[in-house]
Amino acid sequence: MKRILTATIILMTILTGCTGEIKERMAALDEQITKLEEELEKQNTTIASLYAVLYAYQKKDFITGISQLDDNAGYAIHFNSAGDIVIYHGTDAHVPRVGIKRNPADGNYYWTIQYGSGESQYIINEAGDMVSAVGMVPLLKIENGKFYISYDSRKTWQYLGEADGANGDDIFKKISYNDDYVIFETEEETFKIPTNKLVQNLQQSATSINQNMNSLSTLIKDLSKRAICVVSVTDLIVDGKVAGSVVLLSNGEKFTVKDWIDKGSPYISAEKEATDSVYFWAIVSSDGTKNWILDSKGNRMAATVVDLDIPVVVPVLDNSDKTYYWNVVAGGDTTLVLDSYGKKVPVTSHGGELALFKSVDNSARDYLTVTLASGATIMIPKIYTVALSTESISLKPGASKDVTFRVYGIDVYARYNVITQGALTATTSIYTDDPGTGKIAIKAAAGFTGNGKVMLVVSAGNGSTKTMVKTINVAKED
């Protein structure tokens, strides 16, 4: 009896031990399946995100935000049109890797799949055709230890293979980003998508450059006629910071001067050679080399003549690397802007802009000094400023001379007076067809000995109470 009891205990112990081992194996298998299912859920989310990236890439969408998920599990990305997506990093779970690859034969994108360390291959549907990556998103599932894929939102499933042996690498091999672009790299393709910051700068910079080209042309012409002045100078605010100045002129023109950032970039300028009588538009490299902007007939484009055709600066997307570069459109032709090293000039969200102006100095009372990208300076009188044709003359006793003047920023309601010292008389004549302009007729008496002065006193109009005084020194002419 004792022997039978002992054998029974031993048998029960063996059976109990086997049952425990089986339970452990079953628990491990359940855990493995659960892990696979969780990974597949993330994989399906990332596959859908890969489709969104392709859509954004083809539709020239842009990214308005990107952030890392908790515990560095992946990225949350927001597209302007495609909306929000989530991209998970791969794990050690053994699931096949789905991707997208461009078929060089027809130029279209198709879904691919990769098992383990093997090469990726195009997914083939039941009809034997490659599955287009445009218009549908495949889904993966695991059932009874086997992988299945659906191309019709879970209506039907196609067997892929046993749920083992595949790697757990990321669908996206690498995601990198800066202020201008987010770059998505898979095993087969690279998708480069601009950021909201760059897209906003594309239009703003192009508008600013072209507006400045018009303003510079008008500025050069009107200054030569002494018919322009500065109405206001305000701060240019970019990203909440002062980034330059906005200058409003009396002729209604406005130009923007951004703070000089990239001194090595080429710039656009109105230039002329020693033999030229007018200015011509040119792209000037950092080494000073002038590349004249030509019209459709190969002629240089004048920058200051009447009824001129001003070139237009535009950002153009280069499909070879999905980067925006500066181009100039003139006479219907588009010319790529190159720097002094022959490299294309990219559009960025900071610096690198094709500047015309370098800086604005608003510290002087009567004049605003604008420094061009070439280093040349232009002095523009401020509103309520008096400009004389000369501030010193010489007269023989009994002789007379005229001095012309322009008062900027006033109207027909202005008042003019002259005060003289040292045996001089003076009168003013106002040109009624051009308010603010006129002449001072100065005459020396018979006993004039020199060291005389004539002061023009102007009370500004336009509701201003400002009074301006300009002095003309008069010497005796031998």
How do the pLDDT tens digits run along the chain, 478 residues long?
Answer: 445 545 555 555 555 555 666 666 555 555 555 666 777 788 888 888 888 899 888 888 999 999 888 878 888 999 998 889 988 876 555 667 888 999 999 989 998 888 767 788 888 887 888 988 887 888 888 787 778 888 777 788 888 777 654 444 578 888 888 889 999 988 888 999 999 988 888 877 787 777 777 777 777 777 766 667 888 889 888 778 887 888 888 878 888 877 665 556 677 777 888 888 778 888 887 777 888 888 777 788 887 655 556 777 888 888 888 888 888 887 667 777 877 677 888 888 765 567 777 788 888 878 888 888 777 788 888 888 888 999 999 999 999 999 999 888 776 678 899 999 999 999 999 888 777 789 999 999 999 999 999 999 988 766 667 788 999 999 999 8
> In this structure, are residues 397 and 380 in contact, taking their beta carbons and an 8 Å threshold?
no
2-19: burial string, b at 16+ Cβ within 10 Å, e else: eeeeeeeeeeeeeeeeee
| Distance separating alpha carbons of residues 393 and 413, to the nearest angstrom | 29
Angular region, 26: left φ>0, alpha ψ -120 to 50, beta rest? alpha
Helix (H) or strand (E) holding 201: helix 196-224
Q: Three-state DSSP class for 352?
A: coil
| Distance separating alpha carbons of residues 250 and 442, to the nearest angstrom | 30
List, in order, residues 6 or more apart from 477 with CB less than 8 Å away: 394, 395, 396, 399
Sheet holding 230-238, edge to edge: 230-238, 241-249, 254-258
Q: How many CB atoms lie within 10 A of CB 365?
A: 6
Which amino acid is it at 309? D
According to CATH, where is 2.60.40.10 located in the chain?
385-476
CATH topology of domain 385-476: Immunoglobulin-like (2.60.40)
User: pTM for this structure?
Assistant: 0.65
95-114: burial string, b at 16+ Cβ within 10 Å, e else: bbbbbbbeeeeeeebbbbbb
In the chain the first and final C-alpha atoms are separated, in Å, by 155
